[in-house]
Amino acid sequence: MPPKAVTVKERIKEYKDDGGLYEELDGLMYCKFCAKKVDYTRKDSVSKHVKGESHLQKRDEYYSNPNKRVRQQTIQDSLDGAKRMKEEKHQFILDTVEAFISANIPVSKLDDPAIRQWLFKYVKRSVLRENYIPEIAQIHMDKIKESLKGKDITLFSDETTDKGGRCVYNVLFQTLDPAPTQDLYLASSTVLDSENASNCAKAVLETLAKYEKNIEEVAAFNADSARYMTKCFKTLNGLHEELLHIQCLPHKLHHVGNTFQKSLPELNLAVKHTKRIFLNARKRKNNYMMFLQDRYPDEKHKWRAFPSPIRTRWNSWKESVNYIEEYFDDIIQFVQKENDDDNHNFEEEETEKLKQAASNLSSKDKEKIKVFAEFVKVKGLGVETVIKQLQSQKVPTGHVIYQKLDIVERKMAGILSKNVGWFEDLPFLSSLGARKNDYIKVLQSAAGSFREALVKY
């Protein structure tokens, strides 16, 4: 009967007093003193090796000088080491790119010479953008998928433009949990060919599919009140009948405030003309500031330029009205004496036309604009404050907002009554005597349109 084969572990145990034999991952036996392979299948070969003069000398050197304990790497050790270094470098670059993205530092804009040299040393030019950023995006997407699994969500959407002028449609997910705070994620940013309902609905459905969410798991669709977004909701509502449409409150209030622009066209025209006079006219703006400094030498707080309104931001129009209410006489006087040639893209004929229109305003027209501006400044303050609060707060304020809007609605209802006491906070109007009655009817009509829109939304 042939002798039983000895395993490498059993052979090492037989010579454990020597302390130099060990097993590698490839199942072979090695001597760490001599850095060579030893045939463990033949006992006489092992005995000759451990009793050899060279082995004994190297063993003594090993124990007498710990600093020189060097063991030759096997092929497997070398491969494992190279793999480990590659993984560590990959993780280092991944962490670096993620840190830059989290800090909102565009990789392409790292122009500092030291940073650029450091990046070029470890990473090729296009590797960060083409390899690591998509990998980081996938890692974050997987984390979001896991956190959304089995949960209902609210979907937020809004559109903006990038620096190239392209339409970018953003979709955000917010979880609906019993927890006091909810998780909010930017799910996608899609560049649209055109801003319409079908493209927005397609982007929403593709985003849901990407995160493995069904439309039935969406409790509400939060968007602005633009017509194409309302149509987008109807498309989604056809797939999920219980879906709620929650419209953006600041956008609603923007439409409410716009009723003043329609009800008081003379005031709105004054804002437009003032904007056009100062638009793209750097020299004219500078002359106007010098005019204010000469007019109010001891009142530096009055050295303010005209705030140009933005069509999609009612609060900016309201700020322009506030300015006109305070500086209307100054603007008229400046336009009458101003004769600069700083037109840039501003046509000379149009400049003269606007300047002439401002100069030819009758005292009745000036009075009307000042009355309307005072009315909007005072009576529109409530909505202006609410919009600013909604755009700046990071905590839920719904219970406070609706109380404030209720106060605004009751004030507008009071203006519609026959009680003229609701106009006592308008000093310029009150100073007009009997003429104020003609304006009160117009202002009541404007307040009625404002209140009707506020109640509707």
- Specify the pLDDT at position 342: 46
Of the chain, the percentage scoring pLDDT greater than 70 comes to 80
Contacts of 220 (CB under 8 A, 6+ apart): 154, 155, 243, 244, 245, 246
pLDDT of 355 > 70? The answer is no
- Specify the pLDDT at position 155: 92
Main-chain dihedrals φ then ψ at residue 303, nearest 5 degrees: -85, 75
Last residue of a domain, one of 139, 165, 182: 139
Range of the domain at 132: 83-139
| Alpha carbon distance, N-terminus to C-terminus of the chain | 98
Are residues 299 and 448 located together in one domain of the fold? yes
Contacts of 342 (CB under 8 A, 6+ apart): 281, 282, 283, 284
Are residues 430 and 359 located together in one domain of the fold? yes
Are residues 198 and 265 located together in one domain of the fold? no
pLDDT of 430 > 80? The answer is yes
Do the domain assignments include residue 78?
no
Are residues 275 and 295 located together in one domain of the fold? yes
Do the domain assignments include residue 39?
yes
Last residue of a domain, one of 220, 247, 274: 247
pLDDT digits (tens, 9 = 90+) for 173-212: 998 887 777 788 888 989 998 889 999 999 999 999 999 9
State the pTM of this model. Answer: 0.58
Are residues 191 and 312 located together in one domain of the fold? no
Do the domain assignments include residue 144?
no
pLDDT band at 101 (very low <50, low <70, confident <90, very high): confident
Are residues 228 and 377 located together in one domain of the fold? no
Q: Which two tokens stand for residue 1?
A: 């009967």
Are residues 204 and 271 located together in one domain of the fold? no
Distance of CA 55 to the CA centre of its chain: 69
CATH, residue 158: 3.30.420.10
pLDDT of 121 > 60? The answer is yes
pLDDT digits (tens, 9 = 90+) for 237-252: 999 999 998 888 888 8
Are residues 55 and 113 located together in one domain of the fold? no
Do the domain assignments include residue 192?
yes
Are residues 359 and 294 located together in one domain of the fold? yes
45: number of Cβ within 10 Å: 12
Do the domain assignments include residue 300?
yes
SS3 content of the chain, % helix, strand, coil (to 5): 65, 10, 25
Q: What is the mean pLDDT of the chain?
A: 80
Are residues 331 and 286 located together in one domain of the fold? yes
> How far is CA 436 from each of CA 43, 421, 428, 439, rounded to the nearest angstrom?
120, 13, 9, 5
pLDDT of 78 > 90? The answer is no
Q: Which two tokens stand for residue 450?
A: 């404002």
Do the domain assignments include residue 1?
no
> How far is CA 45 from each of CA 35, 74, 79, 89, rounded to the nearest angstrom?
16, 21, 29, 43
Last residue of a domain, one of 194, 219, 247: 247
Are residues 213 and 121 located together in one domain of the fold? no
pLDDT band at 352 (very low <50, low <70, confident <90, very high): low
The stretches of 296-433 forming alpha helices (DSSP H) are 314-337, 348-359, 363-379, 381-392, 398-416, 427-430
Are residues 403 and 308 located together in one domain of the fold? yes
- Specify the pLDDT at position 80: 57
pLDDT band at 343 (very low <50, low <70, confident <90, very high): very low
Do the domain assignments include residue 74?
no
pLDDT digits (tens, 9 = 90+) for 218-239: 999 998 878 888 899 999 999 9
pLDDT of 341 > 50? The answer is no
For the chain, what is the domain count?
4
